[in-house]
Amino acid sequence: MPFAPVILWTDALLWLLVAAIASYLWMCARRPHLAAPWQRVVKSRAAMVSLALLAGYGAIGLADSLHFRVALPATAAGEAPAYSPQVLSVLDLALVRLRRSEETTYSAPLATRLFALEEVRLPDGRMVREYPRLRYGGAQLANEGERGSDVAKRALAGLAGAALLWLPLGALLGPLRRRAPQVPWRAAYATLGAMLAIAGPVFALSLAYHVLGTDKVGQDVLYLSLKSIRTSLVIGTLTTLVMLPLGAMLGVTAGYFKGWVDDAIQYVYTTLNSIPAVLLIAAFVLMMQVYIDGHPQLFPTTAQRADVRLLLLCVILGVTSWTSLARLLRGEALKLAELEYVQAAHAFAVPHLRILTRHLLPNVAHIIIISMVLDFSSLVLAEVVLSYIGVGVDPSTISFGIMINAARLEMAREPVVWWSLASAFGFLLVLVLAANLLADAVRDGFDPRVRVGRAALQGAAQ
């Protein structure tokens, strides 16, 4: 085999999550009462736009979650093949040029020369200080004066390619709108078009230039930004895998059993809550670091160590943030436990566990879904802050937080190096904004109170 698949922990969990979401949606599609709130969600134009954007981010993140190691050239026949220690992903394959085209230091977006003066030896042996040509960015140009027309030509070609991809998809619009007329398909299609209109030229240009420049050690900023997406998605989604079972089980149990169970669970979450979140996370992460440093034999490659650290960061964030969900669910379960159908279940001697799983959990599911979607964006933003403080992901992981941390002194340079920060913040903003818009739509679709409140408001306005 030319490659050996590597399954990192976060990969496995991420794909498991994708499978879980897929089966949940399949379940929803067959049960009208589960599908109804989602139908309300997708009616919103903002939701469709942000779903399209998130799908784009998700595709990049998932392509970056299929890892493998390439086989090294065989040394002797019959020998077991040796694999490179470097763990690559499918995304790395697609971006192979970006990954390999490392310059020596900063270069501006679409530049053909470095951003720093260097001593260069001329052919006649004299030394001069000048901005040397880049090794990869615009290296195909014999005359640098042609850069403008070359960039325009490539961008147009990329745009044309994107249009060729986008226009045929328009044929799907008709059937989709006939099947589900209430869904604003056009908004999603237009968003897709906008995304392709940016991605096409960027891709075409990235074959010959550093579209977003290079950073201090000469790495392509576009490559770093695209790789950071996976880290953000992992933090935003896997954390809920930890938070959800803890928060849901403990919250509902506390509200249902009351008495000493309630007291005990309330005590646990008040205690955890009373420690400032950043400090609790910092304390956990410091201890995790000591453990990882003390047991290097457990983590054979850097990628594995970084991955375990990323996963543990998710666990830590989950352990420190389940309390608010538990408190919400406890309050709801307290109310639900007094309702007639739960009392009736008691009268029929239905066992507690069954009441919890069949009668209570489905009726608090909307709260769980809303808080899952709402938490996503705050978790993504939290990663940036934690990585800045130094208690976030492993320094060898590529993430927005690490990018921003590495670039935070660049604004103080003269002249200013703005592209690393701008790209990291730009990619981050689109992701978080899309997640926030989707969260709003999900809350409007799922929370019965919002609908009642809106009806009352409209009544008052009339």
Residue numbers at the binding site for another protein (CB under 8 A): 267-268, 270-276, 278-280, 282-284, 286-287, 289-291, 293-294, 377, 381, 384-385, 388-391, 404, 408, 411-412, 416, 421, 425, 428-429, 432-433, 436-437, 440, 453, 456-458, 460-461
* Smallest distance from another protein to CB 287, Å: 5
* Smallest distance from another protein to CB 174, Å: 31
Identity of the residue, 122 or 461, whose beta carbon is nearer to another protein in the bound complex: 461
* Smallest distance from another protein to CB 107, Å: 21
* Smallest distance from another protein to CB 31, Å: 30
Identity of the residue, 176 or 268, whose beta carbon is nearer to another protein in the bound complex: 268
Distance CA 411, CA 123 (A): 36
* Smallest distance from another protein to CB 342, Å: 27
* Smallest distance from another protein to CB 179, Å: 30
Identity of the residue, 68 or 419, whose beta carbon is nearer to another protein in the bound complex: 419
* Smallest distance from another protein to CB 447, Å: 11
192: nearest Cα among 172, 208, 212, 175: 172
Identity of the residue, 41 or 114, whose beta carbon is nearer to another protein in the bound complex: 41
Identity of the residue, 159 or 389, whose beta carbon is nearer to another protein in the bound complex: 389
- Burial bucket for residue 445 (CB in 10 Å: 0-12, 13-18, 19+): buried
Q: In what order do the strands lie in the sheet with 88-89?
A: 3-6, 67-70, 88-89
CA distances 69 to 81, 83, 98, Å, are 11, 6, 19
What six digits make up the tokens of 335?
């109310």
Number of helices (H), then strands (E), belonging to the chain: the values are 18, 5
Identity of the residue, 310 or 386, whose beta carbon is nearer to another protein in the bound complex: 386
321: nearest Cα among 385, 263, 267, 382: 382
Q: Which residues of 195-234 are buried (b: 16+ CB within 10 A; e: fewer)?
A: bbeebbbbbbbbebbbbbbbbeebbbbbbbbbbbbbbbbb
Identity of the residue, 94 or 288, whose beta carbon is nearer to another protein in the bound complex: 288
Identity of the residue, 217 or 456, whose beta carbon is nearer to another protein in the bound complex: 456
* Smallest distance from another protein to CB 85, Å: 21
Enumerate residues 6+ apart whose C-beta is below 8 A from 103.
114, 134, 135, 136, 137, 210, 214, 218
322: nearest Cα among 262, 372, 389: 372
Distance CA 418, CA 421 (A): 6
Using alpha carbons only, give the angle 100, 105, 111 rounded to the nearest 5 degrees.
Answer: 80
Using alpha carbons only, give the angle 304, 220, 82 rounded to the nearest 5 degrees.
Answer: 40
